[in-house]
Amino acid sequence: ALRLSYLSGGGQDPAILAQLLHLQAEATALENGAVGPRRGRRAAKPPGTRGLDAALLAMELENRRLEDELLALKVRRERRANAGSQVARQHAAELAHLQAEVGMLRCHMERMGRWLPP
């Protein structure tokens, strides 16, 4: 939630994103450790599963890193789209203003043309 809040707020600092990812990995490791049997006793794991757990955690961290990257790209794309639409609105407003000025100048010229000698 903290990482998503940071990204949606416009955060893009890779160092902070790395720290958030590290904190999330620590929290996941703590949660996985707290899930075991109570009173400090843990069920014995079959040999070779420790490497699988580490590989699974590494894969999960990589997936989360990629999700963060995707979210950051989406946020940047939305910002660019918003900036582009703002520029388009400004250009449309300027165009309307210039067209109104041209119309006023034409009217002015038509009125003045009546008063000019041939």
Q: Could you read off the pLDDT of 95-118 as tens digits, one per residue?
A: 999 999 999 988 888 887 766 565
Per-residue pLDDT for 70 more than 60?
yes
CB 24 within 8 A of CB 56: no
Rg (CA), the chain: 31
CB 68 within 8 A of CB 5: no
CA 73, distance to chain mean position in Å, is 6
Q: Exposed, middle or buried by CB within 10 Å (0-12, 13-18, 19+), for 7?
A: buried
> In whole angstroms, what is the distance from residue 62 CA to residue 68 CA?
10
> In whole angstroms, what is the distance from residue 19 CA to residue 35 CA?
24
Which structure tokens are listed for 2? 């903290």
pTM surpassing 0.85? no
Closest by Cα among 69, 67, 72 to 9: 72
Q: Could you read off the pLDDT of 13-69 as tens digits, one per residue?
A: 888 888 888 888 888 788 777 555 444 445 555 555 667 778 888 888 889 999 999
